């Protein structure tokens, strides 16, 4: 077994300042239960005070349109941050008649800010924030039978985990061919961002097998039915290093890239992938 990936140091940055900003707004009394007004306030904080790294008002509508079309019952997000996307997309899932938006966040300070803002937006029944590294959070969702499958997966946490967590999701068997959609932020092959992720999505079965073989996985996952094992034993007791699970190599994907002009003038993109 390999040691589980070390947790990053937890630090409070500019994120809690959003709470000070919002709670001091002259129109604060008009905000409770108003997701759009809270998103506007976070957008204003972004332009007037300090830059945050949330999905923002340009990319947001592209993803909301997919939610409107797909009408997911359940959507899962990796990377909650201060809850901007959870408020925006949780509200869209609710409008589309869906039941749950699970948001996984490793940093308890960011998660605490997000929980307060989600509550202020009146979305606490639909948005559940799980404070854990993405791979543990995903396993918890499966173990506690909170999800059987994921209709929309929004990947927006940290680049080096995009491929690894997609591989874990494959092993967990929660993608539905012909139905599930994976949305990944900050993919821009022209800037060499997310090329390993795009390579995995576009690889042939033989190329995927070669990638899996090349990858430095040390656990033997051969024949392990991961979802079954996690359901029976729980998240911590599988004896497997969940931060290091290779995928199956058998899924096929079709991806469209939506590119945007980034804040720094560099192109940035959102990859929208249908599971075939
Ligand atoms: C770009 S921000 C997410 C932005 C958010 N989706 C939005 O648009 O409002 C990335 C977040 O992912 C979190 N994160 C980083 N690594 C993670 C991991 N392994 N599991 C869960 N969250 C992680 C960071 O702490 C940070 O809050």
Assign residue 258 the CATH number of its domain. 3.40.50.150
Identify the pLDDT of residue 217: 62
Question: Do 209 and 118 contact (CB within 8 A), yes or no?
Answer: no
CB 195 within 8 A of CB 184: no
Q: Is residue 12 part of a domain?
A: no
Mutate to test the pocket of ligand 1, among 54, 81, 84, 160 (most ligand atoms within 8 A of CB): 81
Compute CA 130 distance to the chain's CA centroid, rounded to the nearest angstrom: 11
Cα–Cα distance for residue pair 181/151, rounded to 1 Å: 6
Domain tally for the chain?
Answer: 1
Amino acid 1: pLDDT: 35
Whether residue 98 is contained in a domain is answered as yes
User: What per-residue confidence (pLDDT) applies to 48?
Assistant: 94
Q: What confidence score (pLDDT) does residue 264 get?
A: 74
The protein residue whose alpha carbon is closest to atom 11 in ligand 1 is 79
Which atom, in ligand 1's list, is nearest to the CA of 84?
Answer: 9
Asked if residue 28 is part of any domain, the answer here is no
Does residue 170 lie within any of the structural domains?
yes
Distance from the alpha carbon of residue 137 to the mean position of ligand 1, in angstroms: 13
Q: Is residue 33 part of a domain?
A: no
CA angle 134, 22, 118 (to 5 degrees): 35
- Which residues line ligand 1 at a C-beta cut-off of 6 Å? 53-55, 78-79, 81, 84-85, 104-107, 110, 133-134, 156-158, 161
Q: How is the chain classified by DSSP, letter by letter?
A: -PPPPPPPPP---STTHHHHHHHT-TTGGG-TT-HHHHHHHHHHHHHHT----S-HHHHHHHHHHHHHHH--SEEEEE--TTSHHHHHHHHHHHHTT--EEEEEES-HHHHHHHHHHHHHTT-TTTEEEEES-HHHHHHHHHHTTS-S-BSEEEE-S-GGGHHHHHHHHHHHT-B-TTT-EEEEES-BGGGTBSHHHHHHHH--HHHHHHHHHHS---S--TT--HHHHHHHH-STTS-S-GGG----S---EEEEEEEEE-TTSSEEEEEEEEE-
Residue 11 lies in a domain: no
With contact defined as beta carbons under 8 Å apart, do 73 and 101 qualify?
A: no
pLDDT by residue (tens digit) across 143-164? 999 999 999 999 999 999 999 9
**Which residue out of 42, 105, 111, 113 has the highest number of ligand 1 atoms within 8 Å of its CB and is therefore the one to mutate?**
105
Distance 217 CA to ligand 1 centre (A): 24
Which positions of the chain have pLDDT values less than 50?
1-3
Asked whether residue 14 is assigned to any structural domain, the reply reads no
Residue 20 maps to a domain: no
Q: Please report the pLDDT score of residue 218 as a whole number.
A: 57
CA of 69 to the centre of ligand 1 (A): 25
pLDDT of 219: 60
Structural domain of 179: 54-275
Q: What is the pLDDT of residue 118?
A: 98
């Amino acid at each position: 077994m390999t040691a589980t990936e070390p947790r990053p140091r937890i630090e409070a940055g500019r994120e809690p300042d959003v709470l000070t900003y919002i709670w001091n707004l002259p129109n604060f009394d008009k905000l409770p239960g108003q997701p759009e007004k809270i998103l506007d306030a976070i957008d204003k904080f972004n332009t007037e005070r300090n830059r945050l790294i949330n999905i923002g008002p340009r990319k947001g509508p592209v993803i909301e349109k997919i939610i409107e079309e797909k009408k997911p019952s359940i959507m899962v997000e990796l990377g909650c941050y201060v809850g901007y996307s959870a408020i925006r997309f949780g509200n869209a899932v609710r409008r589309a008649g869906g039941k749950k938006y699970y948001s996984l966040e490793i940093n308890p300070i960011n998660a605490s800010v997000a929980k307060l803002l989600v509550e202020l937006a009146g979305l606490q029944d639909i948005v559940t924030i799980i404070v854990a590294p993405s791979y543990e959070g995903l396993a918890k969702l499966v173990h506690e039978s909170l999800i059987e499958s994921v209709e929309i997966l929004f990947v927006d946490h940290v680049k080096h985990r995009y491929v690894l967590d997609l591989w874990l999701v494959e092993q967990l068997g929660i993608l539905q061919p012909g139905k599930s959609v994976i949305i990944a932020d900050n993919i821009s092959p022209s800037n060499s961002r997310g090329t390993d992720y795009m390579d995995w999505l576009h690889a042939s079965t033989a190329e995927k097998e070669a990638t899996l073989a090349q990858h430095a996985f040390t656990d033997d996952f051969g024949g392990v039915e991961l979802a079954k094992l996690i359901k029976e034993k729980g998240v911590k007791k599988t004896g497997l290093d969940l931060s290091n699970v290779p995928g199956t190599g058998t899924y096929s994907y079709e991806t469209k890239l939506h590119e945007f002009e980034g804040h720094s003038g560099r192109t940035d993109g959102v990859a929208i992938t249908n599971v075939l």
